[in-house]
Chains A and B, each alone.
Chain A
């Protein structure tokens, strides 16, 4: 493994000081005092059409500047897609464009049919309540049965897809072992067989900062300041939605208070920008309420998977098939990609011994609220399916679940046959992850101690593994650009297109730049805020791509900057023999003699009488490789059967994310991910009202993210492999921590009680029903 100096340091986060003092500026903190406030008029039916809107009373509310409806003659008519993906010049690979800034066709409860702009929030709220909307209501199509099997009974949600199918993928691997088909293996009586049906919930990202933006005109252009994960994509989508040249739009992204995928969609920035245009370019704020964020932004897609599997007596999976459905809701957004990711991850993780695999993934429109990206993008759902299956098999066969999983886990060199570009298991530390995790949790001791329990209070220990691709290279464009320049004192100004969204990106990029240039990280100053007018292009924060893709760009630009510094040093000190080297900001010649320092080179480069120029470098990369991160989670818990209550006592999660750039910020990611996954396991689910499609629990009281009281101490650990494709041997880490804890909790409940649960979250009600069915209560 390569020796690093700056990479691997547990450095204090570069943003920590500003965030504990209130200096860090988020979107709302930058809002000009002189601004107007926009509020949305949201549909109160779940399916239908707006017949008319009466704005006369609303316009009389004191402080109202304007009321703008879906019948406005200035409203841009071209639909746009909201998904935060890189644009594709190939129309076949563009996201579905099915949304309008304001809509006459109501496809979900809360579709935006009009908006008010007023002098203040109170006036805007009052005016919204005074807008009278008349709807023609259509019957609701909320379920798979209604949306797919009976699509023809309803008026089409989207004319382009009258059958409501957004995407359908059917992948069959090559069949090995002398069989003709996967079905033949699954039906072969010499193997053990099972069929299970699993469900995962509509989970909310539930970031603590709301979704908000403000927009104002500057010259002939429009500036949008937004709490977004991807400013450059935001610029493109706002411009597309407005029908303006892309250069007309400038997007500024300050610190953001969490995103977790929800801010990977460009939802209301186009409306915000259009309202700004409608009021003559005055600054307009559009901040959603917490209730609106829950119900009308994005959420993890609710999914249902049916699985068949066959295995032998020696812990080898023979074949698996998965048929999955994803209820995407009212608009396509990321929909097509998410269910595919679910099926892909299900296939990839336990691919080692299978003779054949069959995966079918269907994503459909319905009148449910629109789903989208959430941390790990479909993989927690695929992992739930894969791990619940492994959990059942190991339990039924009396096997050690960790050993059984390892025996079937993706092998080094595995390539996914259906990934359109290179995706390979280039490094594999799963055995060490499992060994470490078992040791830390006390796996063998606990499994022995928890055998043959009786009584109402029981203990369980569980395991789940995961694999996760790093970035989306091969499937979608992976590009990133970076700029660096030298300040007069030899410190380095680093400007990344990639964004800080709380995950610690700015800190690790600073360490990467320092590592390659040859200075201490303390000499790197990163510009945290992105501004599309000046920031180099990057797709943004998603897919656990940034340390891998933007990290590759960072290394490349750092190499270029280093070369330029050393070249200038040679210009200054030509008697020394090259090649020069730089370590800790000190420049050495070929013989190892100290030549000068970076500070000396910098100041001379700025003010040299005949050769003055700022030393800078800017470049970009197209990353074509893709690799797998992986890991294991172990959970110890107590089940109070009569109370249907689960108490998580201990969690250990061990990750192979390749080389760890900063062990402390890496640990942070794991802690937070475990908490989100435990939320998915036990308490988090947005509930849809079947009467109108509205969300019933759209607040932080009724939608239960874990509180401090709900979590034990969380233990994060790492096994450091060196991945040959990562810029510093590193692999994905941003999203992976939120994958395996949920099925590990499920496995531990099975270990404790012998009861199999298939639907997450395992709320007290579901636990009670399960225990009752098995005669435990």
Chain B
């Protein structure tokens, strides 16, 4: 087994970590850095549970070799809370809108929702469906997840009203 050192930024902190060159980023983040929000559901990019932001782009870490993360900025839900523990608006919306059931798919969906929120744009429910359709959830029928994302987008970007039509 050949080991190398990865240098990158994880949740705002510079990190150096040893990894097996055959390893995917999912395993490095979960098993070596203890970021347990990064979930394994399929290992082939079908379910979206392992999604994190890499340089701001929502990415399936099961399909992403750790070696490729050299120098990158990585964010997971563990990095979203404020220093005092206050939830980020997307996290808070997921709590308030009852978007969470078993919770296994949720960290990945939250990270994709973060990507949407940070565009500064508003989205209709159908646009949210399309943007997040790479995430599978078996508990919720997606209903409250879509509502939570809609609420977070509108809250952060200052839009009010139905489907962002007040923008």
Contacts and interface: CB of A to CB of B under 8 A. Distances in A.
A733 interface: no
B41 interface: yes
A287 B43 CA distance: 12
A708 B106 contact: no
Interface string B136-148: 1111111111100
B47 interface: yes
A676 to B, nearest CB: 7
A668 B107 contact: no
A206 B138 contact: yes
Contacts of A15: 100, 103
Which of A208, A287, A700 is packed against the most chain B CB atoms within 10 Å? A208
A172 interface: no
A16 B46 contact: no
Interface in B91-109: 91, 94-96, 98, 100-107
A272 B132 CA distance: 36
A502 B107 CA distance: 15
Contact of A502 (B80, B95, B139): B139
Interface string A1-29: 00000000000110111111111111011
B interface bracket (residues with beta carbon within 8 Å of A): 35 or more
Contact of A22 (B44, B77, B96): B77
B95 A208 contact: no
Which of A19, A258, A671 is packed against the most chain B CB atoms within 10 Å? A19
Contacts of A504: 101
Contacts of B106: 19-20
A701 B129 contact: no
Given A20-B95, A22-B36, A672-B138, A209 B102 contact: yes
Nearest to B49: A208
B125 A713 contact: yes
A677 to B, nearest CB: 10
Contacts of A664: 98
B107 A208 contact: no
Contact of A672 (B46, B77, B103, B139): B139
Interface string A173-185: 0000000000000
Interface residues of A, number: 58
Contacts of B22: 122
Contacts of A672: 101, 138-141
B78 interface: yes
A434 interface: no
Contacts of A709: 129-130, 133
B146 A708 contact: yes
Nearest to A30: B36
Given A15-B103, A257-B102, A210 B40 contact: yes
Which of B39, B128, B141 is packed against the most chain A CB atoms within 10 Å? B141
Contacts of B39: 26, 208-209, 257
Contacts of B43: 289-290
B130 A290 contact: no
Contacts of B100: 13, 15-16, 19-20
Contacts of B129: 708-709
Contacts of B95: 12-13, 16-17, 20
Contacts of B107: 20, 22
B55 to A, nearest CB: 20
A23 B87 CA distance: 13
Contacts of B30: 28-29
Contacts of A258: 102, 104, 138-139
Contact of B104 (A209, A260, A708, A714): A209
Contacts of A503: 101
Contacts of A67: none
Given A20-B87, A20-B106, A699-B46, A28 B40 contact: yes
A290 B41 contact: yes
B2 to A, nearest CB: 12
Contacts of B146: 708
Interface string A23-39: 11110110001000000
A22 B76 contact: yes
Contact of B78 (A22, A700, A711): A22
Contacts of B49: 208
Contacts of B10: none
B141 A17 contact: no
A13 B46 CA distance: 28
Contacts of A113: none
Given A19-B103, A671-B143, A208 B136 contact: yes
A530 to B, nearest CB: 15
B35 interface: yes
A15 B139 CA distance: 15
A207 interface: yes
A279 to B, nearest CB: 20
Contacts of A706: 141
A598 interface: no
A740 to B, nearest CB: 14
A207 B130 CA distance: 22
A700 B143 contact: no
B139 A668 contact: yes
Contact of B41 (A209, A667, A668): A209
Nearest to B46: A700
A112 interface: no
B29 to A, nearest CB: 11
Contact of B136 (A13, A26, A29, A707): A707
Which of B37, B40, B42, B101 is packed against the most chain A CB atoms within 10 Å? B101
Contact of B133 (A502, A699, A705, A707): A707
Contact of B47 (A33, A501, A700, A713): A700
Interface string B1-28: 1000000000000000000001000000
B81 interface: yes
A210 B41 CA distance: 6
Interface of A: 12-13, 15-26, 28-29, 33, 120, 122, 205-210, 255-258, 260, 287, 289-290, 501-504, 664-665, 667-668, 671-676, 699-701, 705-709, 711, 713-714
7 contacts: A20-B100, A26-B39, A29-B36, A208-B105, A502-B104, A671-B144, A675-B140
Given A19-B106, A21-B91, A701-B46, 18 more contacts: A13-B95, A15-B103, A17-B87, A20-B107, A208-B137, A257-B104, A258-B138, A287-B40, A290-B47, A501-B102, A504-B101, A665-B98, A671-B140, A675-B141, A676-B138, A699-B44, A700-B41, A708-B135
